[in-house]
Structure formats: C-alpha cells, structure tokens
Amino acid sequence: MHFKNATHYLFFSLTCITFFSSCNKEFKGDNYTAYFGGEVTNANNPYILFCRDSEVIDTLKIDANNRFFIKFDSLTPGLYTFKNEPEYQYVYFDKNDSIMVHINSKEFDESIVYCGRGDEKNNFLMDLYLKNEKDRSTLFDVFDYDFQKFNKNIDSVYAISEKYYTTKKEHIKWSDGFDTFAKAALDFHYFSKKEMYPIIHKIRTGIDLYEDLPKNYYDFRKSINFNCKELANFSPYIMYLSHMLNNVGSINYHNHFSDLDLELKTNINKLNIADTLIKNKKVKNTILNNIAFSYLLEDQNMVNNQKFLEIYNKYSTDKSKKNEIQKIGHAIQLLKVRNALPEVMLIDKDRNILSSNSFLKKKTVIFFWTEKLTSHLIAAHKKIADLKLKHPDYQFIAISLDNNQNEWNTNLLKYQFDTCIELRSYDFEDLKAKWAIMKVHRAIVLNSDTTIKNAFTNIFDVNFEANLK
C-alpha cells in the first residue's frame, strides 16, 4: 500500500479505533449485525453505492466531513462492492464484521485501506489486487518472450504471490468463504496469463506457438469450476473465462474464410462453447455479454452482426443487458468505413476544449493510452515515433483516457512525448458511446477528408501499416 499523506492516514486510523471501540462486543449466534463506513477525499460524486451481485443494496450519502456510515441489522456474509462511480472495489464481510475504509478518489485503488473487525483479510485482497495490477502493467513486453522465458517469468511471479497468500492465510486464519475469493484472485491472474500468451504473442510477433506448447500446458483447466456461482461477479474469474474462451473458440487453421467470416464463426463458436460449458445462468450471462461486447467492437459488418446477435439472444437470459448490446451494435454501424467520425470534445494541455471536428484535414491516426498501463503508453508512443518517420503524410493524435488534468500534464512532462498531438478525453462516457471505446488497445485511421478508413484497428497489429497505404 502507498500512502502519500501519513498524517492523514494516522488520523483515519485513530478515528477507526475510537469509533469501532463502541462496536467491539460479542454477538449472539443468530445476530448478523454489521457496520460499514469510512471517509472519502476528492469524491467523484456525493454518494457511495453499496452493492452485491451488481444490485444496489443501499445508497450512502457522504456528509460534510467526507464520511459515510451504515449499520446493517442483518448482513449475509459474502463479497460486496462499494462504488464512488465510476470507481469501485470489493469488500468481504464475515458475520458481525465492522469495517471502515479510507478512499481518495484521485488514486482510488492505491488509496484504499480498511480498519476495524475484518480489516486484515480485506487489506490482503486489496494488496494482492494492486500487486496483480502492477504485474499486468508489465505484460505488454512479457508476451513477446519466447516460451521458456515467458514461463519462467510467470512462474516466478506466481511463486512470490502464492507465498504471500499462504503466509497471510496462516496468520489471519480467514474463513473458507473468504478463501474462495482470495485463492481465485491468486490463481486466475496466473491462469489468464497462460491463456493470453499464445494469442497475444502471435498478434505481436507473427509467430504461432500453438503446436510448440508443452502437452501439459493447459492441464490447470482440469481443476477449474466453470460454474462457480460465488465467483459470478468476481472480475479475476470472469476475466479468466473470457480469455479461456478466446483460446478454445479460435479457429486456427483455415484457408477459405474471409477475415470477417472467420471473426463471425470464431465468436459464434465461443457463444456455443460458453452455452455448453457454463450452466450457471449468472456466470453464463456475464460471459456471453463479454463475448458480445468484444465482437461488436471488431466487426462492422451489418449482416454478420445480425447473425451473431441471433445466437447471442438465443443463449442469453439477461434482459437488462440485451438492450445495451443492441445499442452498441447500432453505434458501431456509425463507425463504418467512409462515414464521418462522430464529434467528441477533447482537452489540450492548456485546458482548451476542442472539437474532434477541428482536426486538420489530413490523413490521421488516433490512438489511446492511460497512465494505468505504463508499459503500453511507453510502447505506443515509441511505435508512433517509428510510424511517423515512415509515414510523414499522416498526423498522429494521442488521446489520454484519464480524467485528471494535472496528472496528465505531469505525465506529459515526465515522458516528454514530442512525436504526436497530445489530447485528453473531456467526457469519457461520451467518447466511449460515440467511438465505442471499450479498451485502450485501439486505434482509428482517418482519410484526408476526415472520413473513417478503419475505426477498429490496433497499432501493434503486425498488419497495421496496411491501413496507412
């Protein structure tokens, strides 16, 4: 954990001790009373949403002292989420836990610290999350490694995390219910890397490793419960299942499909496998939605989209998401080749608000980055510097998806990017809706008349430069 303001943290800790001393009592066996509270600095909005399984249980007002609090007369043990939108994190409650949390919304994840009854296990889960995120930020380069080097890297990282998990489990002696999530956070980050490696390695290097992987490479799949309802809303588990389906659903050998038809058949294949493999409705619906989001962001073919959505609607029972999926499918049609790029507002380093329509009428490459993925932002700008030398007739525009102007300016000074026009998203939700930005690894190529040449590409694709000819 990183605490930039030690005095403030000490004050928060003393507040915890004082407050929860009044809650530190014995509870009867049938008493499921629990407490949750905390303080929020730099709040994104004046409310904390307390949720379970994506459903809001209560809306907590942040008071004039930046604090919130609630007493639950009966709270079922399990994993919950708290949100100061758009940010969220997990908190696990055992019977009669009384937990306070400190949040600084400017550094949401890094700032979180728990205190009170039940704090140790939650601080462990938060710390493991941060370790995994730090590791994830370096993976961009790791996926380029040959198999032996890659395997050595991920095994050594896992060994360190596993030792940390074992030590904390023995010390804290947490419940079996909590261990379901602790072990999942440990294992599925590791398993996801193994699933992603052959796919991303091929995309980035052009080398297909599938036939060269050891025969036991995927043996870990045998131990996985693909219908674990407890993990249905836990992101490490859902992310793993998505990566696994990308692997098993791929059609590696073909010579008669167009790229668009191959993409359609591959994603319908993933829908079919998910329907067969996953029987729990909550888990299945979440995975089907992930497949749909990803596919609709890659394919601009109206006929194929309709074929895909027919299968998706056949398997999905999640009525709340179906309309959202349909809306995204419609929005993506507006990003077809030769269409005008929908207008969004952007900000420059001097806080001037600019329209995307004000771009020079020149052939253009737009790419995206975030400070949360350090290795990507560095590699992306390095790649753009190389492309700029090869294609001087193009202008290159970098758009930061981060929402803090000062931190963005600090990063620009730190990295001294001078190869492209640097702008920041003014309203990320508007940008996401109009340009269908669901992932940072995305680029848009425009013609000289500012119409779309390719709105769904990636500067690290081995064939990317074909878009610039």
| Confidence grade of residue 18 (pLDDT, cut at 50, 70, 90) | very low
| Confidence grade of residue 19 (pLDDT, cut at 50, 70, 90) | very low
Predicted pLDDT of residue 322: 67
Task: Give the CATH number of the domain where residue 83 resides.
Answer: 2.60.40.10
Whether residue 446 lies inside any domain: the answer is yes
Q: What are the backbone angles phi and psi of residue 91, rounded to the nearest 5°?
A: -145, 135
Does residue 107 register a pLDDT over 90?
Answer: no
Does residue 203 register a pLDDT over 70?
Answer: yes
Reported as type and span, the H/E element at residue 98 is strand 98-104
Predicted pLDDT of residue 411: 93
- Ranked by mean pLDDT, the top range of 85-94, 185-194, 415-424, 436-445 is 185-194
**Torsion angle of alpha carbons 140, 146, 151, 154, nearest 10°?**
-20
Whether residue 226 lies inside any domain: the answer is no
Task: Give the CATH number of the domain where residue 419 resides.
Answer: 3.40.30.10
Extract the tokens encoding 217: 């490479």
Predicted pLDDT of residue 334: 84
Mean pLDDT of 237-258: 84
Does residue 15 register a pLDDT over 70?
Answer: no
Predicted pLDDT of residue 29: 54
* C-beta of residue 51 within 8 angstroms of C-beta of residue 62: no
Angle at 72 between CA 70 and CA 78, to 5 degrees: 110
Does residue 6 register a pLDDT over 60?
Answer: no
Last residue of a domain, one of 65, 99, 117: 117
| Confidence grade of residue 462 (pLDDT, cut at 50, 70, 90) | confident
317: phi > 0 → left, psi -120 to 50 → alpha, else beta; which? Answer: alpha
Predicted pLDDT of residue 253: 61
Reported as type and span, the H/E element at residue 202 is helix 176-205
Predicted pLDDT of residue 23: 44
Last residue of a domain, one of 82, 117, 152: 117
Whether residue 53 lies inside any domain: the answer is yes
Tens of pLDDT, residues 323-333? 678 777 777 77
* C-beta of residue 421 within 8 angstroms of C-beta of residue 396: yes
Least confident of 10-19, 343-352, 393-402, 428-437: 10-19
Whether residue 310 lies inside any domain: the answer is no
Question: Which position has the higher pLDDT, 321 or 386?
Answer: 386
Whether residue 303 lies inside any domain: the answer is no
How many distinct structural domains can be found in the chain? 2
Q: What is the DSSP letter of 94?
A: -
Predicted pLDDT of residue 53: 87
**Torsion angle of alpha carbons 417, 153, 112, 290, nearest 10°?**
80
Whether residue 51 lies inside any domain: the answer is yes
Question: Which position has the higher pLDDT, 21 or 109?
Answer: 109
Predicted pLDDT of residue 7: 43
Sign of CA dihedral 319, 320, 323, 324: negative
Tens of pLDDT, residues 390-448? 999 999 999 999 988 999 999 999 999 888 999 999 998 889 888 888 778 889 999 99
Last residue of a domain, one of 71, 99, 117: 117
| Confidence grade of residue 373 (pLDDT, cut at 50, 70, 90) | confident
Predicted pLDDT of residue 4: 39
Tens of pLDDT, residues 273-287? 999 999 999 999 999
Whether residue 429 lies inside any domain: the answer is yes
Q: Which domain holds residue 78?
A: 6-117
Q: What are the backbone angles phi and psi of residue 80, rounded to the nearest 5°?
A: -125, 165
Least confident of 15-19, 183-187, 351-355: 15-19
Angle at 199 between CA 194 and CA 201, to 5 degrees: 90
Predicted pLDDT of residue 254: 59
| Confidence grade of residue 377 (pLDDT, cut at 50, 70, 90) | very high
Whether residue 151 lies inside any domain: the answer is no
Q: How far apart are CA 402 and CA 199, in angstroms?
A: 28
* C-beta of residue 387 within 8 angstroms of C-beta of residue 459: yes
Predicted pLDDT of residue 9: 46
Mean pLDDT of 156-169: 98
Mean pLDDT of 177-189: 98
Predicted pLDDT of residue 22: 41
Mean pLDDT of 5-18: 47
Q: What is the mean pLDDT of the chain?
A: 88
| Helices and strands (DSSP H and E) totals, the chain | 14, 15
Total length of the chain: 469
Least confident of 223-237, 239-253, 445-459: 239-253
Does residue 64 register a pLDDT over 90?
Answer: yes
Sign of CA dihedral 438, 440, 444, 450: positive
Q: How far apart are CA 412 and CA 409, in angstroms?
A: 5
Mean pLDDT of 222-243: 95
Do β-strands 421-425 and 55-61 pair in parallel, antiparallel, or remain unpaired?
unpaired
* C-beta of residue 242 within 8 angstroms of C-beta of residue 193: no
